[in-house]
Structure 1
Protein backbone atom coordinates (compact mmCIF):
# COMPACT_ATOMS: atom_id res chain seq x y z
CA UNK A 1 0.00 0.00 0.00
CA UNK A 2 1.19 3.51 -0.81
CA UNK A 3 2.35 5.49 2.21
CA UNK A 4 0.12 8.42 3.10
CA UNK A 5 2.62 11.13 3.77
CA UNK A 6 4.19 14.31 2.46
CA UNK A 7 2.68 17.23 0.61
CA UNK A 8 0.03 16.20 -1.89
CA UNK A 9 -1.36 18.91 -4.17
CA UNK A 10 -5.10 19.01 -4.66
CA UNK A 11 -4.34 19.51 -8.34
CA UNK A 12 -6.52 22.07 -10.08
CA UNK A 13 -8.62 21.20 -13.13
CA UNK A 14 -7.50 23.25 -16.16
CA UNK A 15 -10.37 24.51 -18.29
CA UNK A 16 -10.82 26.05 -21.71
CA UNK A 17 -12.78 29.26 -22.30
CA UNK A 18 -15.98 27.26 -22.82
CA UNK A 19 -15.45 25.56 -19.42
CA UNK A 20 -14.59 22.21 -20.99
CA UNK A 21 -11.65 20.43 -19.38
CA UNK A 22 -8.22 21.04 -20.86
CA UNK A 23 -6.76 17.56 -20.56
CA UNK A 24 -3.49 18.44 -22.30
CA UNK A 25 -2.81 21.12 -19.68
CA UNK A 26 -3.87 18.72 -16.93
CA UNK A 27 -1.09 16.39 -18.04
CA UNK A 28 1.40 19.26 -18.11
CA UNK A 29 0.41 20.36 -14.62
CA UNK A 30 0.75 16.82 -13.30
CA UNK A 31 4.30 16.62 -14.62
CA UNK A 32 5.13 20.11 -13.37
CA UNK A 33 4.08 19.17 -9.84
CA UNK A 34 5.82 15.79 -9.84
CA UNK A 35 9.01 17.31 -11.23
CA UNK A 36 8.92 19.82 -8.36
CA UNK A 37 9.05 16.98 -5.82
CA UNK A 38 5.50 16.59 -4.51
CA UNK A 39 4.64 13.34 -2.77
CA UNK A 40 1.34 12.50 -4.45
CA UNK A 41 -1.47 13.95 -6.56
CA UNK A 42 -5.09 14.43 -5.59
CA UNK A 43 -7.30 15.15 -8.63
CA UNK A 44 -10.80 16.64 -8.26
CA UNK A 45 -10.40 17.61 -4.65
CA UNK A 46 -11.78 20.93 -3.43
CA UNK A 47 -9.16 22.87 -5.39
CA UNK A 48 -9.89 20.64 -8.38
CA UNK A 49 -13.51 21.88 -8.35
CA UNK A 50 -14.98 18.48 -7.53
CA UNK A 51 -18.18 20.20 -6.46
CA UNK A 52 -18.92 21.32 -10.04
CA UNK A 53 -17.64 18.39 -12.11
CA UNK A 54 -19.87 15.62 -13.41
CA UNK A 55 -19.16 12.06 -12.33
CA UNK A 56 -18.14 11.21 -15.91
CA UNK A 57 -15.67 14.13 -15.93
CA UNK A 58 -14.18 13.00 -12.63
CA UNK A 59 -13.56 9.52 -13.95
CA UNK A 60 -11.97 10.86 -17.15
CA UNK A 61 -9.74 13.19 -15.11
CA UNK A 62 -8.68 10.24 -12.95
CA UNK A 63 -7.98 8.12 -16.04
CA UNK A 64 -5.74 10.85 -17.48
CA UNK A 65 -3.91 11.47 -14.19
CA UNK A 66 -3.24 7.77 -13.55
CA UNK A 67 -1.93 7.41 -17.09
CA UNK A 68 0.32 10.47 -16.87
CA UNK A 69 1.63 9.74 -13.38
CA UNK A 70 2.60 6.23 -14.36
CA UNK A 71 3.19 5.13 -10.78
CA UNK A 72 5.69 7.88 -9.96
CA UNK A 73 3.63 9.08 -6.98
CA UNK A 74 0.43 7.83 -5.33
CA UNK A 75 -2.84 9.07 -6.83
CA UNK A 76 -5.65 9.98 -4.44
CA UNK A 77 -9.23 10.01 -5.75
CA UNK A 78 -12.02 11.94 -4.09
CA UNK A 79 -15.03 9.68 -4.46
CA UNK A 80 -17.31 10.84 -1.66
CA UNK A 81 -20.95 11.46 -2.60
CA UNK A 82 -23.94 12.41 -0.50
CA UNK A 83 -25.30 8.88 -0.61
CA UNK A 84 -23.58 5.75 0.66
CA UNK A 85 -24.53 3.64 -2.37
CA UNK A 86 -23.25 6.27 -4.81
CA UNK A 87 -20.01 6.61 -2.85
CA UNK A 88 -19.36 2.88 -3.05
CA UNK A 89 -20.11 2.89 -6.78
CA UNK A 90 -17.76 5.81 -7.51
CA UNK A 91 -15.07 4.30 -5.29
CA UNK A 92 -15.09 1.01 -7.16
CA UNK A 93 -14.89 2.87 -10.47
CA UNK A 94 -11.85 4.74 -9.16
CA UNK A 95 -10.29 1.46 -8.10
CA UNK A 96 -10.81 0.03 -11.58
CA UNK A 97 -9.14 3.10 -13.11
CA UNK A 98 -6.02 2.64 -11.00
CA UNK A 99 -6.33 5.07 -8.08
CA UNK A 100 -4.06 4.20 -5.16
CA UNK A 101 -5.99 5.80 -2.29
CA UNK A 102 -9.54 7.05 -1.84
CA UNK A 103 -10.44 10.31 -0.14
CA UNK A 104 -14.01 10.15 1.15
CA UNK A 105 -15.56 13.46 2.14
CA UNK A 106 -18.39 13.49 4.65
CA UNK A 107 -21.90 13.63 3.18
CA UNK A 108 -23.23 17.15 2.72
CA UNK A 109 -26.43 19.23 2.75
CA UNK A 110 -28.48 16.99 5.07
CA UNK A 111 -27.41 16.96 8.71
CA UNK A 112 -26.00 13.62 9.78
CA UNK A 113 -25.55 12.21 13.27
CA UNK A 114 -22.20 10.78 14.27
CA UNK A 115 -23.65 7.28 14.16
CA UNK A 116 -24.93 7.90 10.62
CA UNK A 117 -21.47 9.10 9.60
CA UNK A 118 -19.86 6.07 11.21
CA UNK A 119 -22.21 3.67 9.43
CA UNK A 120 -21.69 5.51 6.13
CA UNK A 121 -17.91 5.27 6.22
CA UNK A 122 -18.02 1.71 7.55
CA UNK A 123 -20.25 0.62 4.68
CA UNK A 124 -17.97 2.28 2.14
CA UNK A 125 -14.92 0.58 3.66
CA UNK A 126 -16.68 -2.77 3.44
CA UNK A 127 -17.85 -2.07 -0.11
CA UNK A 128 -14.50 -1.24 -1.69
CA UNK A 129 -11.17 -3.00 -1.13
CA UNK A 130 -8.94 0.08 -1.06
CA UNK A 131 -7.23 2.30 1.51
CA UNK A 132 -9.50 5.17 2.54
CA UNK A 133 -8.65 8.61 3.91
CA UNK A 134 -11.58 10.37 5.59
CA UNK A 135 -12.07 14.02 4.68
CA UNK A 136 -13.38 16.47 7.28
CA UNK A 137 -14.33 19.89 5.92
CA UNK A 138 -17.39 20.99 7.90
CA UNK A 139 -17.50 24.54 6.52
CA UNK A 140 -18.28 23.10 3.09
CA UNK A 141 -20.33 20.02 4.00
CA UNK A 142 -22.17 21.08 7.15
CA UNK A 143 -21.14 17.82 8.83
CA UNK A 144 -18.18 17.42 11.17
CA UNK A 145 -16.45 14.08 11.76
CA UNK A 146 -15.65 14.26 15.47
CA UNK A 147 -12.42 12.94 16.97
CA UNK A 148 -14.42 10.22 18.72
CA UNK A 149 -15.87 9.04 15.42
CA UNK A 150 -12.48 9.12 13.71
CA UNK A 151 -11.07 7.00 16.53
CA UNK A 152 -13.82 4.40 16.02
CA UNK A 153 -13.34 4.42 12.25
CA UNK A 154 -9.57 4.04 12.58
CA UNK A 155 -10.16 0.53 13.87
CA UNK A 156 -11.48 -0.50 10.44
CA UNK A 157 -8.46 -1.95 8.60
CA UNK A 158 -8.76 -0.12 5.28
CA UNK A 159 -9.62 3.27 6.81
CA UNK A 160 -6.03 4.41 7.04
CA UNK A 161 -6.12 8.15 7.53
CA UNK A 162 -8.03 11.40 7.84
CA UNK A 163 -7.59 14.83 6.29
CA UNK A 164 -8.72 17.71 8.48
CA UNK A 165 -9.74 20.96 6.78
CA UNK A 166 -11.64 22.36 9.75
CA UNK A 167 -8.96 24.99 10.35
CA UNK A 168 -9.19 24.07 14.04
CA UNK A 169 -5.76 22.87 15.10
CA UNK A 170 -7.08 21.35 18.31
CA UNK A 171 -9.47 19.18 16.30
CA UNK A 172 -6.59 17.91 14.17
CA UNK A 173 -4.51 17.40 17.31
CA UNK A 174 -7.27 15.27 18.81
CA UNK A 175 -7.35 13.18 15.63
CA UNK A 176 -3.64 12.52 16.14
CA UNK A 177 -3.98 11.80 19.85
CA UNK A 178 -6.91 9.42 19.44
CA UNK A 179 -5.40 7.39 16.59
CA UNK A 180 -1.78 7.27 17.71
CA UNK A 181 -2.27 3.69 18.90
CA UNK A 182 -3.34 2.52 15.42
CA UNK A 183 -0.29 1.50 13.45
CA UNK A 184 -0.12 3.10 10.04
CA UNK A 185 -2.99 5.56 10.56
CA UNK A 186 -2.17 8.98 9.09
CA UNK A 187 -3.50 12.45 9.89
CA UNK A 188 -3.11 15.03 7.14
CA UNK A 189 -3.65 18.77 7.33
CA UNK A 190 -6.06 20.26 4.83
CA UNK A 191 -4.96 23.73 5.87
CA UNK A 192 -1.75 24.72 4.09
CA UNK A 193 -0.65 26.94 6.99
CA UNK A 194 -0.65 24.02 9.43
CA UNK A 195 1.41 21.42 7.57
CA UNK A 196 4.59 21.79 9.62
CA UNK A 197 2.66 21.95 12.89
CA UNK A 198 0.79 18.82 11.84
CA UNK A 199 4.10 17.03 11.33
CA UNK A 200 5.52 18.23 14.61
CA UNK A 201 2.41 16.98 16.43
CA UNK A 202 2.69 13.52 14.92
CA UNK A 203 0.78 13.90 11.65
CA UNK A 204 2.17 12.90 8.28
CA UNK A 205 1.77 15.93 6.02
CA UNK A 206 -0.94 17.73 4.12
CA UNK A 207 -3.10 17.97 1.03
CA UNK A 208 -2.35 21.45 -0.21
CA UNK A 209 -4.04 23.80 -2.66
CA UNK A 210 -1.13 26.25 -2.56
CA UNK A 211 1.11 23.50 -3.95
CA UNK A 212 -0.44 24.26 -7.34
CA UNK A 213 1.33 27.61 -7.16
CA UNK A 214 4.50 26.71 -5.27
CA UNK A 215 4.94 22.93 -5.54
CA UNK A 216 8.67 22.86 -4.74
CA UNK A 217 8.30 25.24 -1.82
CA UNK A 218 5.38 23.34 -0.32
CA UNK A 219 6.99 19.91 -0.81
CA UNK A 220 10.14 21.15 0.90
CA UNK A 221 8.25 21.70 4.17
CA UNK A 222 7.93 17.95 4.51
CA UNK A 223 11.40 17.16 3.16
CA UNK A 224 13.09 19.64 5.49
CA UNK A 225 11.14 18.33 8.47
CA UNK A 226 12.15 14.74 7.72
CA UNK A 227 15.77 15.88 7.35
CA UNK A 228 15.62 17.47 10.81
CA UNK A 229 16.02 21.03 9.48
CA UNK A 230 13.19 22.42 11.58
CA UNK A 231 14.17 26.08 11.55
CA UNK A 232 14.42 26.15 7.75
CA UNK A 233 11.14 24.23 7.51
CA UNK A 234 9.50 26.84 9.72
CA UNK A 235 10.75 29.67 7.51
CA UNK A 236 9.38 27.91 4.44
CA UNK A 237 6.04 27.31 6.16
CA UNK A 238 5.88 30.98 7.09
CA UNK A 239 6.70 32.03 3.53
CA UNK A 240 3.24 31.22 2.19
CA UNK A 241 1.53 33.69 4.52
CA UNK A 242 1.50 36.53 1.99
CA UNK A 243 -0.17 34.27 -0.56
CA UNK A 244 -2.71 33.01 1.95
CA UNK A 245 -3.57 36.62 2.78
CA UNK A 246 -4.85 37.10 -0.78
CA UNK A 247 -7.60 34.54 -0.17
CA UNK A 248 -9.73 37.34 1.26
CA UNK A 249 -10.39 38.49 -2.30
CA UNK A 250 -12.45 35.46 -3.27
CA UNK A 251 -13.05 31.74 -3.08
CA UNK A 252 -9.66 30.13 -2.30
CA UNK A 253 -10.06 27.80 -5.30
CA UNK A 254 -10.58 30.80 -7.56
CA UNK A 255 -7.58 32.62 -6.11
CA UNK A 256 -5.31 29.58 -6.55
CA UNK A 257 -6.36 29.12 -10.16
CA UNK A 258 -5.94 32.84 -10.92
CA UNK A 259 -2.44 32.73 -9.43
CA UNK A 260 -1.39 29.74 -11.55
CA UNK A 261 -2.74 31.52 -14.63
CA UNK A 262 -0.71 34.62 -13.70
CA UNK A 263 2.38 32.41 -13.50
CA UNK A 264 1.90 31.75 -17.21
CA UNK A 265 0.09 28.42 -17.25
CA UNK A 266 -3.14 28.32 -19.31
CA UNK A 267 -5.33 26.72 -16.67
CA UNK A 268 -8.29 29.03 -17.28
CA UNK A 269 -10.87 30.16 -14.78
CA UNK A 270 -13.01 28.19 -12.37
CA UNK A 271 -16.46 27.27 -13.61
CA UNK A 272 -19.16 29.89 -13.19
CA UNK A 273 -20.40 31.24 -10.96
CA UNK A 274 -17.25 30.71 -8.88
CA UNK A 275 -14.91 32.48 -11.30
CA UNK A 276 -14.52 36.09 -10.25
CA UNK A 277 -11.51 37.81 -8.70
CA UNK A 278 -11.83 41.60 -8.37
CA UNK A 279 -9.19 43.83 -9.95
CA UNK A 280 -7.90 44.63 -6.46
CA UNK A 281 -7.35 40.92 -5.88
CA UNK A 282 -5.52 40.42 -9.17
CA UNK A 283 -3.20 43.32 -8.38
CA UNK A 284 -2.55 41.92 -4.89
CA UNK A 285 -1.77 38.52 -6.41
CA UNK A 286 0.62 40.01 -8.95
CA UNK A 287 2.47 41.84 -6.18
CA UNK A 288 2.75 38.73 -3.99
CA UNK A 289 3.86 36.52 -6.88
CA UNK A 290 6.54 39.03 -7.88
CA UNK A 291 7.82 39.39 -4.31
CA UNK A 292 7.89 35.63 -3.78
CA UNK A 293 9.64 35.01 -7.09
CA UNK A 294 12.40 37.34 -5.91
CA UNK A 295 12.68 35.15 -2.80
CA UNK A 296 13.12 32.06 -4.96
CA UNK A 297 9.78 30.47 -4.21
CA UNK A 298 8.57 28.07 -6.87
Structure 2
Protein backbone atom coordinates (compact mmCIF):
# COMPACT_ATOMS: atom_id res chain seq x y z
CA UNK A 1 0.00 0.00 0.00
CA UNK A 2 1.35 3.41 -0.97
CA UNK A 3 2.13 5.71 1.92
CA UNK A 4 -0.61 8.25 2.67
CA UNK A 5 1.66 10.75 4.43
CA UNK A 6 4.09 12.25 1.94
CA UNK A 7 4.79 15.19 -0.32
CA UNK A 8 3.82 18.80 0.22
CA UNK A 9 1.06 19.43 2.74
CA UNK A 10 -0.15 23.02 3.06
CA UNK A 11 -0.19 24.25 6.67
CA UNK A 12 -3.17 26.46 6.01
CA UNK A 13 -3.90 29.73 7.75
CA UNK A 14 -7.42 30.15 9.08
CA UNK A 15 -9.01 32.93 7.04
CA UNK A 16 -10.70 35.64 9.10
CA UNK A 17 -12.71 38.78 8.55
CA UNK A 18 -11.39 42.16 9.65
CA UNK A 19 -13.25 41.76 12.96
CA UNK A 20 -11.32 38.49 13.57
CA UNK A 21 -14.38 36.28 13.03
CA UNK A 22 -14.00 33.18 10.85
CA UNK A 23 -14.23 33.76 7.11
CA UNK A 24 -15.30 30.28 6.03
CA UNK A 25 -15.93 31.30 2.43
CA UNK A 26 -12.29 32.30 2.12
CA UNK A 27 -11.26 29.08 3.88
CA UNK A 28 -12.99 27.27 1.01
CA UNK A 29 -11.23 29.44 -1.55
CA UNK A 30 -7.86 28.69 -0.01
CA UNK A 31 -8.49 24.94 0.08
CA UNK A 32 -9.34 25.01 -3.62
CA UNK A 33 -6.30 27.18 -4.34
CA UNK A 34 -3.99 24.70 -2.62
CA UNK A 35 -5.48 21.70 -4.39
CA UNK A 36 -5.27 23.47 -7.77
CA UNK A 37 -1.58 24.15 -7.07
CA UNK A 38 -1.05 20.41 -6.64
CA UNK A 39 -0.50 19.91 -2.92
CA UNK A 40 -0.55 16.38 -1.56
CA UNK A 41 -2.68 17.35 1.43
CA UNK A 42 -4.23 20.28 3.29
CA UNK A 43 -3.69 20.79 7.00
CA UNK A 44 -5.98 22.91 9.14
CA UNK A 45 -5.73 23.94 12.78
CA UNK A 46 -1.97 23.88 13.10
CA UNK A 47 0.25 26.68 14.33
CA UNK A 48 -0.36 28.70 11.17
CA UNK A 49 -4.05 27.93 11.53
CA UNK A 50 -4.06 29.71 14.91
CA UNK A 51 -5.50 26.67 16.66
CA UNK A 52 -4.11 28.08 19.90
CA UNK A 53 -6.61 30.96 19.81
CA UNK A 54 -9.75 29.34 18.34
CA UNK A 55 -12.65 28.07 20.42
CA UNK A 56 -13.55 24.40 20.09
CA UNK A 57 -16.77 25.30 18.29
CA UNK A 58 -14.77 27.34 15.79
CA UNK A 59 -12.34 24.47 15.29
CA UNK A 60 -15.19 22.12 14.46
CA UNK A 61 -16.58 24.59 11.92
CA UNK A 62 -13.17 24.88 10.26
CA UNK A 63 -12.74 21.10 10.11
CA UNK A 64 -16.18 20.64 8.58
CA UNK A 65 -15.52 23.36 6.00
CA UNK A 66 -12.12 22.04 4.96
CA UNK A 67 -13.29 18.41 4.73
CA UNK A 68 -16.36 19.29 2.65
CA UNK A 69 -14.36 21.54 0.34
CA UNK A 70 -11.54 19.06 -0.19
CA UNK A 71 -14.21 16.45 -0.99
CA UNK A 72 -11.74 13.58 -1.05
CA UNK A 73 -9.43 15.16 -3.60
CA UNK A 74 -6.50 15.20 -1.15
CA UNK A 75 -6.15 13.99 2.43
CA UNK A 76 -7.20 16.44 5.12
CA UNK A 77 -4.87 16.70 8.12
CA UNK A 78 -6.38 18.18 11.27
CA UNK A 79 -4.50 19.50 14.28
CA UNK A 80 -6.06 18.09 17.43
CA UNK A 81 -3.26 18.29 19.98
CA UNK A 82 -4.17 19.66 23.41
CA UNK A 83 -2.13 19.86 26.64
CA UNK A 84 -4.04 16.92 28.11
CA UNK A 85 -4.51 13.38 26.83
CA UNK A 86 -8.26 13.22 27.50
CA UNK A 87 -8.94 16.47 25.65
CA UNK A 88 -6.74 15.40 22.75
CA UNK A 89 -8.67 12.14 22.45
CA UNK A 90 -12.02 13.95 22.61
CA UNK A 91 -11.15 16.48 19.92
CA UNK A 92 -9.57 13.78 17.76
CA UNK A 93 -12.77 11.74 17.89
CA UNK A 94 -14.76 14.78 16.80
CA UNK A 95 -12.34 15.35 13.93
CA UNK A 96 -12.82 11.75 12.83
CA UNK A 97 -16.61 12.16 12.94
CA UNK A 98 -16.27 15.21 10.70
CA UNK A 99 -14.23 13.31 8.13
CA UNK A 100 -10.57 14.03 8.90
CA UNK A 101 -8.14 11.69 7.14
CA UNK A 102 -5.07 12.23 9.30
CA UNK A 103 -4.53 13.68 12.77
CA UNK A 104 -1.62 16.04 13.37
CA UNK A 105 -0.96 16.05 17.09
CA UNK A 106 1.46 18.46 18.72
CA UNK A 107 3.20 17.17 21.81
CA UNK A 108 1.73 18.20 25.19
CA UNK A 109 2.81 21.72 26.03
CA UNK A 110 3.29 24.34 28.72
CA UNK A 111 4.12 21.91 31.55
CA UNK A 112 7.40 20.01 31.59
CA UNK A 113 7.01 16.39 30.50
CA UNK A 114 9.16 13.27 30.45
CA UNK A 115 9.76 11.12 27.39
CA UNK A 116 7.82 8.26 29.02
CA UNK A 117 4.86 10.60 29.46
CA UNK A 118 5.10 11.68 25.82
CA UNK A 119 5.12 8.02 24.80
CA UNK A 120 2.09 7.24 26.94
CA UNK A 121 0.19 10.28 25.61
CA UNK A 122 0.55 9.26 21.98
CA UNK A 123 0.11 5.54 22.60
CA UNK A 124 -3.13 6.15 24.49
CA UNK A 125 -4.41 8.41 21.72
CA UNK A 126 -3.54 5.80 19.09
CA UNK A 127 -5.47 3.12 20.94
CA UNK A 128 -8.51 5.39 21.33
CA UNK A 129 -8.87 6.84 17.81
CA UNK A 130 -8.61 4.76 14.65
CA UNK A 131 -7.02 7.33 12.37
CA UNK A 132 -3.46 7.76 11.12
CA UNK A 133 -1.55 10.01 13.52
CA UNK A 134 1.32 12.32 12.62
CA UNK A 135 3.12 13.58 15.70
CA UNK A 136 4.21 17.22 15.72
CA UNK A 137 7.47 18.29 17.34
CA UNK A 138 7.85 22.04 17.95
CA UNK A 139 9.99 22.53 21.05
CA UNK A 140 10.27 26.31 20.65
CA UNK A 141 6.52 26.60 21.26
CA UNK A 142 5.87 23.59 23.50
CA UNK A 143 9.02 23.61 25.63
CA UNK A 144 9.32 19.86 25.02
CA UNK A 145 11.31 17.95 22.39
CA UNK A 146 10.19 14.51 21.27
CA UNK A 147 13.50 12.68 21.40
CA UNK A 148 14.56 10.41 18.52
CA UNK A 149 14.46 7.24 20.62
CA UNK A 150 10.91 8.09 21.71
CA UNK A 151 9.92 8.53 18.07
CA UNK A 152 11.52 5.17 17.27
CA UNK A 153 9.36 3.51 19.95
CA UNK A 154 6.19 5.26 18.85
CA UNK A 155 6.80 4.47 15.18
CA UNK A 156 6.04 0.85 16.03
CA UNK A 157 2.49 1.73 17.14
CA UNK A 158 0.38 0.73 14.10
CA UNK A 159 -1.56 3.94 13.45
CA UNK A 160 1.24 6.36 14.37
CA UNK A 161 2.45 6.90 10.83
CA UNK A 162 4.75 9.91 10.95
CA UNK A 163 6.14 13.00 12.60
CA UNK A 164 6.42 16.63 11.57
CA UNK A 165 9.57 18.23 12.97
CA UNK A 166 9.53 22.02 13.29
CA UNK A 167 12.46 22.18 15.67
CA UNK A 168 14.86 23.48 13.02
CA UNK A 169 17.55 21.05 14.23
CA UNK A 170 18.40 19.03 11.13
CA UNK A 171 20.32 16.39 13.08
CA UNK A 172 17.26 15.75 15.26
CA UNK A 173 15.11 15.26 12.14
CA UNK A 174 17.81 13.11 10.52
CA UNK A 175 17.83 10.84 13.56
CA UNK A 176 14.06 10.49 13.24
CA UNK A 177 14.67 9.24 9.69
CA UNK A 178 17.53 6.93 10.67
CA UNK A 179 15.69 5.30 13.57
CA UNK A 180 12.38 4.59 11.79
CA UNK A 181 11.24 2.45 8.86
CA UNK A 182 10.65 4.66 5.83
CA UNK A 183 8.31 2.03 4.40
CA UNK A 184 5.81 2.53 7.20
CA UNK A 185 6.71 5.83 8.86
CA UNK A 186 7.02 9.32 7.37
CA UNK A 187 9.31 12.08 8.63
CA UNK A 188 8.16 15.50 7.41
CA UNK A 189 9.94 18.82 7.74
CA UNK A 190 7.91 21.52 9.41
CA UNK A 191 10.68 23.98 8.57
CA UNK A 192 10.19 25.14 4.97
CA UNK A 193 13.93 25.75 4.52
CA UNK A 194 14.72 22.07 5.17
CA UNK A 195 12.19 20.32 2.91
CA UNK A 196 14.62 19.37 0.14
CA UNK A 197 17.27 18.35 2.68
CA UNK A 198 14.66 16.22 4.43
CA UNK A 199 13.92 14.47 1.13
CA UNK A 200 17.61 13.97 0.36
CA UNK A 201 18.09 12.39 3.80
CA UNK A 202 15.27 9.91 3.19
CA UNK A 203 12.34 11.88 4.59
CA UNK A 204 8.89 12.12 3.05
CA UNK A 205 8.33 15.84 2.41
CA UNK A 206 7.07 18.82 4.33
CA UNK A 207 4.16 20.57 6.00
CA UNK A 208 4.64 24.10 4.80
CA UNK A 209 3.58 27.58 5.85
CA UNK A 210 5.02 29.20 2.72
CA UNK A 211 2.42 27.29 0.69
CA UNK A 212 -0.02 29.95 1.88
CA UNK A 213 2.02 32.44 -0.16
CA UNK A 214 3.59 30.40 -2.96
CA UNK A 215 1.91 26.98 -3.19
CA UNK A 216 3.15 26.21 -6.70
CA UNK A 217 6.77 26.81 -5.67
CA UNK A 218 6.46 24.53 -2.66
CA UNK A 219 4.84 21.78 -4.71
CA UNK A 220 7.64 22.06 -7.27
CA UNK A 221 10.32 21.27 -4.69
CA UNK A 222 8.83 17.81 -4.15
CA UNK A 223 7.92 17.16 -7.79
CA UNK A 224 11.34 18.15 -9.09
CA UNK A 225 13.01 16.00 -6.45
CA UNK A 226 10.88 13.00 -7.39
CA UNK A 227 11.70 13.61 -11.07
CA UNK A 228 15.41 13.55 -10.27
CA UNK A 229 16.04 17.17 -11.20
CA UNK A 230 17.96 18.06 -8.09
CA UNK A 231 19.41 21.31 -9.43
CA UNK A 232 15.96 22.71 -10.21
CA UNK A 233 14.64 21.42 -6.87
CA UNK A 234 17.46 23.26 -5.11
CA UNK A 235 16.68 26.45 -7.02
CA UNK A 236 13.04 26.17 -5.96
CA UNK A 237 14.07 25.53 -2.35
CA UNK A 238 16.47 28.47 -2.34
CA UNK A 239 13.88 30.78 -3.91
CA UNK A 240 11.87 31.00 -0.69
CA UNK A 241 14.77 32.35 1.36
CA UNK A 242 13.80 36.05 0.92
CA UNK A 243 10.25 35.54 2.20
CA UNK A 244 11.47 33.31 5.03
CA UNK A 245 13.91 36.04 6.01
CA UNK A 246 10.86 38.22 6.67
CA UNK A 247 9.81 35.92 9.52
CA UNK A 248 12.22 37.79 11.77
CA UNK A 249 9.86 40.78 11.79
CA UNK A 250 7.31 39.20 14.16
CA UNK A 251 5.15 36.20 14.84
CA UNK A 252 5.71 33.94 11.79
CA UNK A 253 1.96 33.31 11.57
CA UNK A 254 1.38 37.05 11.25
CA UNK A 255 4.09 37.38 8.62
CA UNK A 256 2.61 34.46 6.68
CA UNK A 257 -0.88 35.94 6.69
CA UNK A 258 0.40 39.40 5.82
CA UNK A 259 2.44 38.05 2.90
CA UNK A 260 -0.50 35.95 1.71
CA UNK A 261 -2.71 39.04 1.69
CA UNK A 262 -0.09 41.08 -0.15
CA UNK A 263 0.18 38.23 -2.67
CA UNK A 264 -3.53 38.64 -3.39
CA UNK A 265 -5.29 36.31 -0.97
CA UNK A 266 -7.75 37.99 1.43
CA UNK A 267 -7.10 35.72 4.41
CA UNK A 268 -7.52 38.52 6.94
CA UNK A 269 -5.56 39.30 10.11
CA UNK A 270 -4.23 37.12 12.89
CA UNK A 271 -6.14 37.39 16.13
CA UNK A 272 -4.90 39.86 18.67
CA UNK A 273 -2.56 40.15 20.41
CA UNK A 274 -0.56 38.17 17.83
CA UNK A 275 -1.20 40.59 15.01
CA UNK A 276 1.27 43.48 15.04
CA UNK A 277 3.86 44.23 12.41
CA UNK A 278 5.64 47.56 12.07
CA UNK A 279 5.12 49.70 8.99
CA UNK A 280 8.73 49.04 8.04
CA UNK A 281 8.18 45.28 8.26
CA UNK A 282 5.06 45.46 6.11
CA UNK A 283 6.92 47.52 3.53
CA UNK A 284 9.74 44.97 3.42
CA UNK A 285 7.25 42.12 2.96
CA UNK A 286 5.61 44.07 0.12
CA UNK A 287 8.99 44.55 -1.55
CA UNK A 288 9.84 40.88 -1.12
CA UNK A 289 6.54 39.61 -2.55
CA UNK A 290 6.79 42.01 -5.48
CA UNK A 291 10.30 40.80 -6.26
CA UNK A 292 9.22 37.17 -5.92
CA UNK A 293 6.23 37.72 -8.20
CA UNK A 294 8.51 39.36 -10.76
CA UNK A 295 10.51 36.11 -10.77
CA UNK A 296 7.34 34.14 -11.45
CA UNK A 297 6.85 32.76 -7.95
CA UNK A 298 3.26 31.81 -7.21
* TM-score, length-scaled by structure 1: 0.98
**Displacement of 1:9:** 0.9
Residues 84-103 of structure 1: matches in 2 within 5 Å? 84-103=85-104
**Displacement of 1:183:** 3.0
Match of 2:16 in 1: 15
How many pairs does the alignment contain?
297
> Which runs of 5 or more structure 2 residues have no equivalent in the other structure?
none
2:157 and 2:204 map into 1 onto residues whose CA distance is 19
Match of 1:172 in 2: 173
Q: Describe the superposition over 1:62-85 as per-residue Cα deviations: whole angstroms up to 9, x where unpaired.
A: 100000000111000111111101
**Displacement of 1:268:** 1.0
Give SS of 1:41's match: strand
Match of 1:294 in 2: 294
Match of 2:114 in 1: 113
1:83 aligns with 2:79: no
Match of 2:124 in 1: 123
Match of 2:34 in 1: 33
1:51 aligns with 2:48: no
1:131 and 1:278 map into 2 onto residues whose CA distance is 41
**Displacement of 1:267:** 1.2
1:209 and 1:253 map into 2 onto residues whose CA distance is 8
Residues 274-289 of structure 1: matches in 2 within 5 Å? 274-289=274-289
Using the TM superposition, name which of 261-270 and 288-297 deviates more: 261-270
Q: Describe the superposition over 1:198-255 as per-residue Cα deviations: whole angstroms up to 9, x where unpaired.
A: 0000000000000000000001100000011110000000000000111111111000
Give SS of 2:22's match: coil
1:188 and 1:119 map into 2 onto residues whose CA distance is 22
Match of 1:153 in 2: 154
Match of 2:240 in 1: 240
2:98 and 2:294 map into 1 onto residues whose CA distance is 41
1:200 and 1:268 map into 2 onto residues whose CA distance is 36
Using the TM superposition, name which of 52-61 and 207-216 deviates more: 52-61
Residues 174-193 of structure 1: matches in 2 within 5 Å? 174-180=175-181, 183-193=183-193
1:227 and 1:264 map into 2 onto residues whose CA distance is 30
> Which runs of 5 or more structure 1 residues have no equivalent in the other structure?
none
Give SS of 2:151's match: helix
Give SS of 2:255's match: helix
Match of 2:267 in 1: 267
Match of 1:200 in 2: 200
Give SS of 1:161's match: strand
Q: Which runs of 4+ in 1 moved over 4 A?
A: none
2:236 and 2:264 map into 1 onto residues whose CA distance is 23
**Displacement of 1:260:** 1.0
